[in-house]
């Protein structure tokens, strides 16, 4: 079995007296989609930022493709989409992607090839030369996904990638993520939408107050809790920990 590409090993992160993530261990292999679920304040975004190297763990380790998450080697193997990631309003998607391609040290021909491929797979052809400030929420998110995967990294970390999108745009992005899994990528994402996680994820981890309550496939988690849906399963797990923070 291949080595995991994204790893948190007993990782904790505190902000003063607040323990946002507590001894969190999880791993994601190539060809796998892992969903990190939990209520607001559960520690999902902090955990993803540890993997992205944006935060240093207070204790424990975060690795991407065998490299410490804070290193340039790790960042070059990672595509990270943060919940607050924005686009340059006055630039076009083509200009944004060209800029990030240069940051990733891609040659001009490679940037053109990758932009053409992503324009097809993410339906960007009609918006590549429009300014980002005039794009819809779904269009901006497709451009953001293109920026995230432009350098074809083996690991994708996505913080609520379908948040605020309508049903059609959400389905489009889910299909794209499935395609990346089929290409052997390790995909870790957070979401509030339990039905979406049930459809998309190979494995799920439930976070509550920074701790991993339960981990497994959607079917395994439902069986473990004796519940018929992931929502009911999560509520049962949270109740067992004393309810919401």
Backbone angles phi, psi at 146, to 5 degrees: -60, -45
| Sign of the CA dihedral running 28, 33, 37, 41 | positive
pTM comes to: 0.92
What is the structure's pLDDT at 130?
A: 96
- Residues 97, 32: Cα–Cα separation, whole Å: 26
Please check whether residue 178 lies inside any domain of the structure: yes
| Domain presence at residue 133 | no
Cα 163 from Cα 70, distance rounded (Å): 27
Task: Judge whether 70 lies within some domain.
Answer: yes
Q: Is residue 129 part of a domain?
A: no
pLDDT in tens, 176-217: 999 999 999 999 999 888 888 988 999 999 998 999 989 999
Does residue 114 sit within a domain?
no
Q: What is the pLDDT of residues 60-93, one digit of tens each?
A: 999 999 999 999 999 999 999 987 667 899 999 9
How far apart (Å, rounded) are the C-alpha atoms in residues 57 and 140? 31
Does residue 188 sit within a domain? Answer: yes
Using the predicted structure, report yes or no on whether residue 45 has a pLDDT greater than 50.
yes
| pLDDT averaged over every residue in the chain | 91
Domain region containing 48? 6-85+154-240
**What CATH number has the domain bearing residue 234?**
3.40.50.300
Contacts of 179 (CB under 8 A, 6+ apart): 121
93-99 LR contacts (CB < 8 Å, sep 24+): 93/124, 93/127, 93/128, 93/129, 93/130, 93/132, 93/135, 93/143, 93/146, 94/128, 94/129, 96/132, 96/143, 96/147, 97/143, 97/146, 97/147, 97/150
Q: What's the number of domains the chain is made of?
A: 1
Does 1 map to a domain? no
235 assigned to some structural domain: yes
Q: Residue 244 pLDDT > 70, yes or no?
A: no
Taking residues 118-147, report their average pLDDT.
Answer: 93
Structure tokens at 82: 């943060």
Q: What pLDDT shows up at residue 243?
A: 47
164 sits in the region (left: phi over 0; alpha: psi -120 to 50; else beta) called left
């Amino acid at each position: 079995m291949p080595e995991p590409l994204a790893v948190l090993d007993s990782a904790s992160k505190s902000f003063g007296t607040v323990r946002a993530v507590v001894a969190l261990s999880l791993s994601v292999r190539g060809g796998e989609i892992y969903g990190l679920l939990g209520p607001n304040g559960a520690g999902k975004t902090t955990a993803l930022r540890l993997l992205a190297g944006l935060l240093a763990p207070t204790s424990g380790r975060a690795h991407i493709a065998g490299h410490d998450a804070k290193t340039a080697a790790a960042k070059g193997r990672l595509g990270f989409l943060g919940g607050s990631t924005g686009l340059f309003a006055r630039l076009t998607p083509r200009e944004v992607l060209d800029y990030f391609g240069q940051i990733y040290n891609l040659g001009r021909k490679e940037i053109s090839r990758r932009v053409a491929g992503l324009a097809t797979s993410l339906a960007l052809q009609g918006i590549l030369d429009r300014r980002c400030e005039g794009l819809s929420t779904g269009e901006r998110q497709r451009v953001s996904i293109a920026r995230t995967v432009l350098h074809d990294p083996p690991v994708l970390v996505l913080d609520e990638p379908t948040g605020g999108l309508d049903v059609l745009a959400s389905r489009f992005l889910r299909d794209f993520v499935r395609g990346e899994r089929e290409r052997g990528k390790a995909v870790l994402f957070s979401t509030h939408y339990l039905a979406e996680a049930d459809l998309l994820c190979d494995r799920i981890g439930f976070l509550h107050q920074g701790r991993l309550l339960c981990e497994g496939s959607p079917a395994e988690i439902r069986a473990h809790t004796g519940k018929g849906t992931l929502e009911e399963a999560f509520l049962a797990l949270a109740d067992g920990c004393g309810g919401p923070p």
